[in-house]
Chain A
């Protein structure tokens, strides 16, 4: 090229070369733009991919931590925890239970935990800066499993109706607990009201009405005026009716809608700290309640299997001529008396299996569990006088 330029040093030739030079410069810039753009695109692609991956990873991490918190709280009995989850204020936690499998996680993400063992009673959706966890043992009559109640600082429980003893007992169990530095260790927002009309939702995400007398909330009745502006799922109620049953309600427009067709039978021994009754307060609907109760019945079956085998070993131990003379009540209560542990426990075991299959219907198998459990409790107390106990 340089030689040609030397030979053809005319004006026209000079112009031609200038044009070529200009084209080359433009081409260089184009080349830089395309190559630079491609390189930039490559890095933008990596960043976008990493961002999506990080978000998925974060949701999985959050759910894993949530699982650890829930498992940790449910392992030991009588745990009361308040967990700061203000970092998740933009997320909504969801809880569900279908066919014996609980699922919980963050709404809008694929990360979720599935649990077939632990009964978790909670609202279906939680959006709050604090999570409150409380576990109490479910005993029928021996300890079966710890029920975990999950609620939040944005859920408020309003008690209404006449059962002063139960309300007082529940309120004393759920007293606000503070640490030395006035940090909230545990707090369930609850209030007693004489009428549902005075309930003010303030800024709570979920309002739960607990009708302890069983005659305040009725299907088709009007929802209190102040609660009508809230979404249907944000206002729910449970009503404890006669015969140890419960009904679950939800706001449907301006009226109450009863969710369960049949009354839900509460299977427990009654008395103080009745886990099955407390569970009905914390479970938002009948689906969550019955599904988690079925989990408890399944475990009760397995725990009873162990107790039945323990009883057989006790029977073999006390069924010797010497011990029959020295400790007649032991073998008597275990298998010789008309009402004895072996016969009661075997019957109890059969009823649990039958009840677990039909629950929540109040079938004979389910209604008979309570009297059977009470008999086993009495027989165990008899054994405690002079013999080894079953539990």
Chain B
């Protein structure tokens, strides 16, 4: 359907709309990833760097690597559980 001809002046054509939507989505994804990264840094710094030395030791680097992977694991476990719970609530509400 051609929106541009039927809609009032100043509104979007289908291509413009699609571009705007994917732009918005992309920006949200980037913001979300940045948020996540910041949270990982915070948590893993706290857990892996107990006594900050003159440089990042190899054991600290190893801990950070593991910690990052585990944080993503935790995030996935949590959102899966949250999603399933929402689905359940949703089914009960109907």
Do the two chains belong together in a single complex?
no
Residues of B within 8 A of A (CB): none
